[in-house]
């Protein structure tokens, strides 16, 4: 149902993962995850090591934050994130590269995991693991199945249906075994018989490597998926693999599913088996107009400008937009001095011409937005309702079901900013619902 086929543009497919050097100063934001910010547990002048806890999760919906570098805490202040929003942050002056002794930095692969499910979840919390698919949902909450619910399927999202992004692909090609160990650990934490890894069939290399590796493990099934955006959207992926449909307003666990991004499983392996907290991202630096394409391991807190300077020197003259994420759901970066945070998947540079939207014309009621909507909604209707301030009606037409995949705007011949209008409408509906309470 629905979906579109944007140009894939996976031009950084063949670029092996490189290690990005550490800068002179790091700014670590305290909310890099969905929920409340972590509370700083270091003070100005403190010496920290790589992997040391610097922000503690005190609220329920929160995740620990660890120092990605070794050095001295300069100050605890605020810092503007990539989208211009001020957030609490710990500034660290980098001195050397001294890691916590507990972290296993050997290249050996550690296969055995003797932890009990509860211990695994506790360690995920300790290591600050969050979902790396985009939502940065704290992992320890996801893997603590609420009373009365039962997990039957573990689904690993390796669809990577977003144009341009290749970090998941590279991790699968280079760390298939670690991923499979990570999946086994998550499977154990949930107590489910099998995990299903969904990979779009436009990544035959990854399917081959993962299938070979998974055959040495118990209960890991590789599922090639049809190439269609948004195949990797949570509800669509669950449907493609299990045939189950998550009803409106419900969560995957309500149909017995837990979905995790494939990049997260690699982080889980490192956290559980190597005691390494989440302090690095695997990130694609790509763009049609860039002189070279890259995939990097980057310490969290490295700024966009540092990444650009190291990988391509400087942005091309024709740069129109820098995007964190893919072209369909990524966010346009407003502040290149901002530090990267957990879950950043790319620095995507697009040209001036591509970055501009075509002028909007009248709706010709072609219904393309409706046919492209993977949720079976009516974007054209929301557009009219939102413009006229008819918030209650937009709620009745299930505006909150929108997953913001962008297929409506993508396919609109009148270039109407449908998703912008829907976002506005969703905010109004949420505000109205909050006011009622």
Residue numbers at the binding site for another protein (CB under 8 A): 1, 4, 6-7, 163, 235, 239, 245-248, 314-315, 317, 319-323, 325, 327-334, 336, 350, 352, 354-358, 361-368, 370-371, 373-378, 380, 398, 401, 404, 406, 409-415, 417, 419-420, 423
Per-residue tokens: 369: 């937005």
Torsion of CA 176, 178, 180, 184, to 10 degrees: 180
Burial 254-275 (b: 16+ CB within 10 A, else e): ebbbbbbbbbbbbbbbbbbbbb
Torsion of CA 157, 160, 165, 171, to 10 degrees: 50
Q: Which is nearer to another protein, 184 or 303 (CB)?
A: 303
Q: Which is nearer to another protein, 21 or 413 (CB)?
A: 413
Q: Which is nearer to another protein, 162 or 270 (CB)?
A: 162
Q: Closest separation between CB of residue 389 and another protein, Å?
A: 20
Inter-residue contact 428 to 391 (CB < 8 Å): yes
C-alpha distances out from residue 284 to 11, 51, 262, Å: 10, 23, 15
Dist CA 255 CA 150 (whole Å): 9
Q: Closest separation between CB of residue 1 and another protein, Å?
A: 7
Q: Which is nearer to another protein, 311 or 411 (CB)?
A: 411
**In which residue are the tokens 């962008």 written?**
406
How long, in residues, is the chain? 437
Q: Closest separation between CB of residue 420 and another protein, Å?
A: 5
Dist CA 335 CA 340 (whole Å): 11
Q: Which is nearer to another protein, 28 or 422 (CB)?
A: 422
Which of these, 148, 154, 138, 223, lies nearest to 189 by C-alpha position?
Answer: 154
C-alpha distances out from residue 50 to 54, 136, 305, 362, Å: 10, 21, 22, 56
Q: Closest separation between CB of residue 358 and another protein, Å?
A: 7
Q: Which is nearer to another protein, 112 or 317 (CB)?
A: 317
Q: Closest separation between CB of residue 181 and another protein, Å?
A: 34
Phi-psi region of 37 (alpha: psi -120 to 50; beta: other; left: phi over 0): beta
Q: Closest separation between CB of residue 122 and another protein, Å?
A: 34
Q: Which is nearer to another protein, 163 or 339 (CB)?
A: 163
- Half-sphere CA count of 167, side-chain side, radius 13 A: 30
Q: Which is nearer to another protein, 309 or 364 (CB)?
A: 364
Q: Closest separation between CB of residue 33 and another protein, Å?
A: 20
Q: Closest separation between CB of residue 387 and another protein, Å?
A: 14
Dist CA 222 CA 97 (whole Å): 38
Torsion of CA 384, 387, 388, 390, to 10 degrees: 80
Q: Which is nearer to another protein, 22 or 369 (CB)?
A: 369
Dist CA 393 CA 399 (whole Å): 9
Q: Closest separation between CB of residue 200 and another protein, Å?
A: 18
Per-residue tokens: 276: 């390494």
């Amino acid at each position: 149902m629905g979906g579109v086929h944007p140009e894939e543009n996976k031009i950084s497919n063949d670029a092996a993962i490189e290690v990005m050097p550490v800068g002179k100063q790091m700014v670590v934001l305290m909310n890099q995850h969905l929920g409340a910010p972590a509370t700083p547990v270091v003070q100005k002048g403190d010496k920290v090591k790589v992997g040391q806890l610097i922000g503690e999760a005190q609220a329920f919906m929160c995740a620990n934050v660890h120092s990605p570098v070794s050095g001295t805490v300069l100050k605890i202040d605020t810092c503007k994130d990539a989208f211009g929003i001020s957030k609490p942050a710990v500034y660290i002056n980098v001195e050397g590269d001294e890691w916590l002794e507990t972290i296993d930095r050997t290249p050996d692969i550690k296969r055995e995991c003797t932890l009990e499910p509860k211990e695994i979840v506790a360690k995920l919390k300790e290591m600050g693991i969050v979902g790396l698919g985009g939502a940065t949902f704290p992992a320890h909450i996801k893997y603590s199945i609420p009373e009365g619910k039962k997990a039957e399927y573990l689904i690993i999202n390796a669809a990577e249906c977003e144009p341009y992004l290749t970090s998941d692909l590279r991790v699968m090609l280079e760390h298939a075994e670690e991923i499979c160990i990570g999946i086994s650990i998550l499977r154990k934490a949930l107590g489910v018989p099998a995990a299903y890894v969904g990979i779009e069939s436009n990544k035959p290399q990854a399917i081959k490597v993962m299938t070979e590796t998974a055959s040495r493990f118990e209960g890991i099934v590789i599922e090639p998926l049809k190439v269609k955006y948004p195949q990797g959207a949570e509800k669509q992926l669950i449907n493609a693999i299990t045939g189950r449909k998550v009803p409106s307003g419900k969560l995957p666990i309500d149909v017995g599913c837990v979905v995790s991004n494939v990049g997260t499983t690699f982080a889980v392996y490192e956290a559980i088996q190597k005691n390494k907290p989440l302090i690095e991202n695997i990130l694609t630096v790509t763009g049609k107009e860039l002189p070279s394409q890259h995939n990097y391991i980057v310490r969290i807190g490295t700024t966009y400008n540092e990444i650009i300077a190291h990988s391509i020197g400087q942005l091309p003259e024709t740069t129109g937009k820098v995007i964190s994420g893919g072209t369909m759901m990524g966010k346009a970066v407003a502040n290149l001095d901002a530090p990267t945070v957990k879950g950043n998947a790319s620095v995507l540079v697009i040209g001036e011409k591509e970055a501009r939207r075509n002028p909007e014309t009248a709706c010709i009621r072609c219904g393309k937005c409706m046919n492209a909507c993977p949720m079976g909604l009516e974007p054209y209707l929301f557009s009219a309702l939102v413009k006229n301030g008819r918030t209650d009606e937009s709620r009745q037409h299930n505006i909150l079901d929108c997953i913001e995949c962008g297929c409506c705007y993508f396919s609109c011949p009148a270039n109407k900013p449908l998703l912008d209008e829907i976002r506005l409408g969703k905010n109004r509906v949420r505000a109205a619902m909050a006011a009622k309470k």
